[in-house]
């Protein structure tokens, strides 16, 4: 019996030298990394033997205290490198070299299979399919369900006996489960309360993850025989059977609903999307459904319960949160909206502190697929290394957090957040494998907390820091979330609010007096300037605010405001926005002089509100910086370079057509939402020079696409509404919070692109230095110029992206909408397209466009009616004479492009859609300067040729394959003016397939 053991040991020790020789590079690179001494064969396995379960986290904490932010652990032949340096954590988690889950996740696959949570070859595709169900647009649709179920929770809490302690988690998890079922899973309210096996599984989800975590951290349980003989395998199998029963019922209900054809694409749940994709097997759908179901309902319940428990233990913060809720939403049972949540700053601080104190994932693990250098080049992680990121320990590191073991929401006050590195707080991980449900969970959790706090007062005994923690993948309170409640009274608070209002009115009166005195002094100082201003007619201006009240309107009303000024005061008129003089010029010849003059080569003062987001560069800047940046970027917008983008344009439009084919012909939808995806991918692969795979890995891409229109609305609001131009006032608005969040998104978005391009530029230099100039994107040129700071690079990266993708998508959508409104024009254009392209689905070239004069006429007519820049503003740097007077230095020129393009002096039936205006005969008869869709002079539109090609490409191929209709008429079209012109009701169209031969 002894000889087989001796033989086996001899074999193992004989293999050891061979293994060391085979992995000599791994051993050499790891040698410089500090860590405990490893034994042959077993490495540091004995440390794990005596530190199982939760003690494993204590072991990791001890290792960091001993060895610093970087240490290695050998588990047999497996090298684990633990990293706690925040900057390197960001580098690693956002790198495409570390894009697979670690080996510990293999243990979870027996229960929930390979996919989004556990990794493997399918996770990226599976995640991409369901991502639309987690974006902001989709989550807004879920608000009604969140509020309905939150009211149920509030009623449950009101029924609790006052002063009696209970575990709130059990009530909360029932509610979060219902929310997930009625949103992500897509069930009706009745169906969600009648799912086979769900009640059994809700409370056992924690037990399942605890079982898996124990197996991860207790090495001998990873031996199949030991796992089986201890009875744990039988327990796991029982869970798997319950999971299968639950997910089977989900699939059955959703397949029945999908067959009925009553499911709107925007509101499709995860199960619907997996079924509709046709890319997953039945078992894969079950696995992913269970993964996303349990991670959503269980994690949301834990965090909600933690927030409620923290408020119970922190009465001062509970009072702050409650007062804030009443101020923003009211004390009644009003629904909570996304806009409300943006103003609940105290609640957000408690929410973030809960995420810090109780990490959703205590540790995360990744596999290194390519060598990557960290710690300023000191260490290189070899291929095959297992990377361990200790989130729980990072969130409690005293170097970054004052008294980290205490619950202190004030850590997340803006002034405290600025003092910390943003990388020390990563509750949802980072990079391509970050938490998919973060956008979904936050409004759900906060809505539940608002309803609870609004209805009951929370109380708890003892000190929250004394509560014992328990780790099972995530961190939770070991003995539950125990608190007491009692119904709330609001009378006292109403009196306090009244006092606040009285004080506020007193302060406002004092402020008005001070500003009136300042205004009087300003008038005396600028007497000459005001005399020159009075040579132009305009409405009577009020002290201090000028004509600002006239512009306190919605974007759709601004069209009428400008039109009235032009009709009453003529082609040169003035208005005041506070102390800023604006002169509207609607004379084409004067506009050409002004826009082409060096005396007007500075953007107007209102552009500074755009610069807050985009910086002072190509789109919103002026002067030396603008000129330098534009010169660097210009080569990528030339005709030859844009011609080289033709293949990418065709490939992306082909994918767009595939998506459009799946939309039922009777379904009316907003086509902009489809097209903007295509234009975004085109811009990323051309101007930004990313590969298709790299585009899919850009952080926050979809959220940025969704948020961009809202951000431009915020910028335009500040441009025209005087009170929003006062920073302290703007800081108190929801728009400021939106913009702040947007800037954070685009910063991370741009940094990822910049880092990617820096790596790729080095590869290009190494492989083919002679042809580098032809391979450069705009960002590449900025980087190589070495003339931009990091901040300028970040701003210009996003400027290039948004100014191209959003404008082209909007113009393209307008073209298709006009074709839907005007079937005769559509038929004429379709005949021209088929004449040139034929009856085969093929790529479209620039030579094709040259033979399509009617397409060009349609395109120009759309730009006439819906210009990219509805109004332009320039600062007059020196006095300049025009036909109607002299514009004084320091005033602002306003060019009303939208109204010039619809001026009846130059256009017959100016509001009608008539492409024939741009036939050669009519064009020659018309004043040439009354049509300036891309502006004029040195500050004209840099991307006009790029945009024209992309718009025509999309429109030709869509109209070649589909007849476009709409249930509405052109007379129904209502527009608003913001940065560009937009329809109030979107771009609603229906697509009817035409007969077309496949590409041969």
CA 952/CA 642 separation, integer angstroms: 13
Q: Are 864 and 903 in contact (CB under 8 A)?
A: no
Residue 159, classed as helix, strand or coil, is coil
Element (H, E) at 880: strand 880-882
CA 795/CA 791 separation, integer angstroms: 6
Q: Is the dihedral of CA 826, 831, 836, 839 positive or negative?
A: positive
Task: Give the rounded distance of the alpha carbon of 521 from its chain centre.
Answer: 46
Enumerate residues 6+ apart whose C-beta is below 8 A from 704.
Answer: 742, 745, 746, 749, 802
Tokens of residue 42, six digits: 């077993």
Q: Are 975 and 559 in contact (CB under 8 A)?
A: yes
- The count of C-alpha atoms lying within 13 angstroms of the C-alpha of 524, restricted to the half-sphere facing its C-beta, is 6
Please name the residue that has the structure tokens 């169900």.
133
Q: Are strands 602-603 and 962-965 parallel, antiparallel or unpaired?
A: unpaired
Tokens of residue 155, six digits: 């009623």
**Residues pairing with 457 in the sheet:** 486
CA dihedral 249, 255, 256, 262 (to 10 degrees): 130
492 annotated as ligand-binding = no
- The count of C-alpha atoms lying within 13 angstroms of the C-alpha of 470, restricted to the half-sphere facing its C-beta, is 14
- The count of C-alpha atoms lying within 13 angstroms of the C-alpha of 589, restricted to the half-sphere facing its C-beta, is 6
Q: Which DSSP state fits 895?
A: E
Enumerate residues 6+ apart whose C-beta is below 8 A from 522.
Answer: 579
User: Radius of gyration of the chain from Cα atoms?
Assistant: 32
Enumerate residues 6+ apart whose C-beta is below 8 A from 480.
Answer: 167, 169
Among 173, 142, 56, 153, smallest CA distance to 104 is for: 56
Residue 167, classed as helix, strand or coil, is strand
CA 354/CA 729 separation, integer angstroms: 30
Apex 457 CA angle, 453 and 461, nearest 5: 120
Enumerate residues 6+ apart whose C-beta is below 8 A from 365.
Answer: 101, 102, 103, 104, 105, 386, 387, 388, 389
Apex 283 CA angle, 278 and 287, nearest 5: 105
CA 641/CA 647 separation, integer angstroms: 12
Greatest extent of the chain over all pairs of C-alpha atoms, in Å: 112
The gap between the terminal CA atoms of the chain, to the nearest Å, is 71
CA 112/CA 116 separation, integer angstroms: 10
Residues annotated in a binding site? 941
Residues annotated in a binding site for heme? 941
């Amino acid at each position: 019996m002894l000889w087989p053991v001796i033989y086996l040991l001899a074999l193992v020790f004989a293999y050891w030298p061979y293994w060391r020789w085979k992995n000599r590079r791994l051993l050499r690179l790891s040698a410089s990394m500090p860590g405990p001494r490893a034994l042959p064969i077993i490495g540091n396995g004995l440390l794990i033997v005596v530190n199982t379960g939760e003690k494993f986290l204590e072991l990791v904490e001890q290792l960091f205290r001993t060895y610093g932010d970087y240490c290695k652990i050998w588990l047999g032949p497996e090298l684990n490198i633990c990293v706690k340096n925040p900057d390197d954590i960001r580098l690693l988690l956002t790198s495409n070299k570390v894009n697979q889950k670690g080996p510990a996740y293999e243990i979870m696959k027996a229960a929930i299979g390979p996919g989004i949570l556990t990794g493997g070859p399918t996770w990226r595709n599976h995640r991409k399919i369901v991502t639309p169900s987690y974006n902001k647009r989709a989550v807004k649709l879920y608000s009604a369900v969140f509020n309905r179920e939150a009211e149920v929770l509030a009623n449950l809490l009101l029924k609790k006996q006052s002063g009696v302690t209970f575990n709130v988690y059990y009530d909360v998890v029932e509610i979060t489960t219902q929310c997930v079922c009625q949103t992500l899973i897509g069930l009706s309210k009745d169906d969600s309360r009648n799912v086979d096996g769900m009640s059994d599984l809700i409370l056992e989800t924690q037990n399942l993850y605890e079982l898996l975590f124990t197996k991860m951290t207790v090495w001998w349980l990873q031996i199949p025989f030991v796992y089986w003989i201890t009875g744990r395998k039988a327990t796991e199998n029982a869970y798997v059977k319950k999971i299968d029963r639950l997910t089977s019922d989900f699939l059955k209900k959703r397949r029945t609903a999908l067959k009925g054809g009553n499911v709107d694409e925007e509101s499709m749940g995860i199960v619907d999307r997996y079924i509709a994709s046709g890319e997953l097997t039945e078992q894969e759908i079950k696995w992913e459904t269970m993964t996303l179901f349990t991670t959503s309902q269980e994690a949301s319940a834990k965090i909600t319960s933690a927030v409620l428990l923290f408020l119970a233990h922190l009465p001062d913060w509970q009072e702050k949160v409650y007062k804030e809720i009443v101020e923003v939403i009211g004390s009644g049972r009003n629904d909570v909206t996304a806009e409300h949540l943006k103003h609940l700053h105290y609640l957000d601080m408690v929410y973030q502190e809960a995420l810090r104190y109780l990490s959703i994932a205590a540790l995360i693990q990744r596999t290194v697929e390519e060598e990557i250098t960290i710690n300023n080049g000191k260490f290189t992680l070899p291929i095959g290394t297992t990377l361990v990121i200790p989130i729980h320990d990072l969130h409690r590191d005293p170097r970054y957090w004052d008294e980290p073991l205490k619950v202190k929401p004030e850590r997340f006050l803006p002034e405290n957040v600025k003092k910390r590195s943003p990388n020390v707080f990563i509750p949802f991980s980072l990079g391509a494998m970050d938490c998919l449900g973060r956008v979904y969970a936050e409004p759900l959790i906060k809505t539940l907390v608002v309803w609870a706090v609004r209805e009951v007062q929370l109380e708890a005994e003892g000190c929250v820091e004394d509560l014992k923690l328990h780790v099972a993948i995530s961190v939770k309170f070991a003995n539950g979330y125990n608190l007491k409640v009692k119904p709330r009274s609001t009378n006292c608070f109403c009196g306090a609010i009244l006092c606040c209002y009285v004080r506020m009115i007193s302060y406002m009166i004092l402020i008005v007096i001070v500003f009136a005195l300042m205004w009087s002094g300003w008038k005396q100082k600028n007497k000459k300037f005001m005399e020159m201003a009075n040579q132009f007619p305009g409405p009577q201006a009020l002290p201090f605010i000028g004509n600002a009240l006239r512009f306190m309107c919605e974007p759709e009303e601004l069209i009428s405001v400008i039109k009235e000024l032009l009709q009453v005061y003529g082609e040169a008129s003035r208005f005041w926005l506070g102390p800023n003089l604006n002169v509207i010029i609607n004379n084409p010849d004067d506009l050409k002089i002004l826009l082409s003059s060096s005396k007007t080569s500075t953007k107007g003062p209102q552009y500074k509100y755009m610069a807050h987001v985009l910086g002072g560069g190509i789109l919103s800047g002026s002067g030396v910086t603008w000129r330098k940046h534009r010169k660097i970027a210009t080569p990528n917008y030339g005709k030859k370079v844009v011609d080289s983008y033709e293949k990418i344009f065709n490939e992306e439009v082909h994918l767009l057509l595939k998506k459009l084919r799946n939309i039922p012909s009777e379904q009316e939808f907003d086509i902009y939402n489809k097209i903007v995806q295509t234009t975004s991918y085109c811009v990323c692969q051309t101007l930004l020079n990313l590969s298709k795979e790299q585009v899919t890995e850009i952080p926050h891409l979809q959220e940025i696409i969704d948020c961009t229109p809202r951000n431009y609305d915020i910028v335009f609001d500040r441009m025209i509404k005087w009170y929003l131009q006062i920073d302290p006032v703007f800081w108190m608005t929801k728009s400021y919070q939106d913009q702040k969040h947007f800037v954070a998104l685009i910063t991370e978005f741009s940094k990822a692109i910049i880092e990617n391009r820096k790596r790729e530029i080095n590869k290009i230099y190494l492989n083919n230095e002679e042809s580098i100039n032809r391979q450069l994107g705009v960002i590449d040129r900025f980087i190589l110029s070495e003339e931009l700071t990091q901040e300028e690079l970040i701003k210009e990266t996003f400027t290039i992206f948004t100014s191209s993708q959003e404008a082209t998508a909007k113009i393209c959508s307008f073209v298709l909408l006009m074709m839907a409104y005007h079937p005769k024009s559509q038929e004429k254009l379709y005949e021209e397209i088929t004449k040139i392209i034929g009856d085969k689905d093929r790529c479209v070239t620039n030579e094709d466009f040259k033979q399509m004069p009617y397409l060009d006429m349609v395109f120009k007519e759309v730009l006439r009616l819906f210009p990219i820049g509805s109004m332009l503003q320039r600062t007059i740097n020196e006095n300049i004479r025009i036909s109607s007077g002299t514009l004084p230095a320091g005033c602002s020129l306003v060019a009303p492009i939208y109204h010039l393009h619809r001026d009846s002096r130059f256009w017959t039936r100016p509001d009608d859609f008539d492409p024939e205006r741009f036939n050669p005969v009519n064009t020659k008869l018309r004043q040439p300067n009354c049509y300036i869709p891309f502006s004029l002079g040195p500050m004209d539109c840099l991307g006009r040729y790029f945009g024209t090609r992309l718009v025509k490409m999309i429109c030709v191929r869509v109209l070649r394959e589909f007849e476009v209709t709409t249930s509405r008429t052109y007379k129904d079209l209502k527009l608003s003016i913001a940065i560009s012109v937009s329809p109030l009701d979107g771009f609603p169209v229906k697509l009817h397939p035409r007969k077309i031969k496949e590409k041969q």
